[in-house]
Structure 1
């Protein structure tokens, strides 16, 4: 398989996101808002957009489970479920519309919001969190989405060139 570059990028991002990125976020930001970047989610959404939905689902489930084990201890499975489902849904756009930078950023923004809503909904359902949706939306979802969109803009061109250089799979028939 030609997925070795993708594996290396995702592993490197997982390590960076776990170790260095929390130090780069200013402390003043963390008192009023919660900036939690999800760079791996951005790559999973790109995989869904430029490769296929099944590959995005696989990477989302694997790296989401890593997040569940290492970062989020209250429950096992919600991050894996949310990341896999979001990557799969982004992959439904593959081959259906022309993917320009505007469509890509729109899918990444909506995918990020959908991911955060799934996590919030599951944590709220099982009473892990007790905050209301308004506070969560303005203090965590929007700042995280903006950071993820800036990251997606920064890596759009090199990542798209890398995906275009990979062999393209045959189009799948939906039944």
Structure 2
């Protein structure tokens, strides 16, 4: 039964990113700084750690495509970024243990790689988008701090959900 709940949970996480961006404002964040929540990327990495690589890559591909359609003018950036990072994370989880600390570390590293990947693609297309120093100070650092906090909050509930889902998938 939880198998049918997974797409709805992922859609909720997908929607939560834009809702968070619109409704949550921190007093210590200036107008120049950008907080980009990557909750979907975090949950996809959790999925690759606690369920399997195939599910994470499929959901990464689908929701990356939706992400591209909603937020970017170029199709494929997030679609291949999400799926590729899920693949790399699943390979890392085969070598490392999947305890909460390692999963958070890999998830935050995936968010870092995603941010630099998207910045690289955007700077290739739009030459005057943002300087590298501006990117690091105004976007990268606030985004990473936000996503570290989100990973700390989300890892245990999603671990429980994904472990019970994995058990249900194994029983079928």
TM-score relative to the length of structure 1: 0.85
Considering only aligned residues, what root-mean-square deviation do their CA atoms show, in Å?
Answer: 2.2
> Structure 1 residues 110-119 or 158-167, which shifts more?
158-167
Residue-by-residue CA offset, 1:22-63 (whole Å, 9 max, x unaligned)? 221247625131101011111011111112222211111111
1:129 to partner: Cα distance: 5.0
- What does 1:85-124 correspond to in 2, within 5 Å? 85-124=84-123
Where 2:29 maps in the other structure, the secondary structure is helix
Quote the Cα distance in structure 2 between the aligned partners of 1:142 and 1:50: 27
Mapping for residues 23-172 of structure 1, pairs under 5 Å: 23-26=23-26, 29-72=29-72, 74-127=73-126, 130-167=129-166
Q: CA deviation at 1:20?
A: 4.7
Q: Equivalents in 2 of 1:115, 1:3: separation in Å?
A: 27
Q: Which has the higher contact order (CA 8 A, sep 6+)?
A: 2
Show structure 1 runs of 4+ deviating over 4 A: none
| Unaligned runs of at least 5 residues, structure 2 | none
**Aligned-partner Cα distance in 2 for 1:129–1:70:** 23
> C-alpha distance in 1, partners of 2:71/2:153?
25
What is the TM-score when the length of structure 2 is the normalising length?
0.87
For structure 1, the residue ranges without an aligned partner over 5 or more in a row are: 171-175
Conserved in 2, the CA contact under 8 Å of 1:57 and 1:84? yes
**Structure 2 Cα separation of the partners of residues 50 and 4 of structure 1:** 17
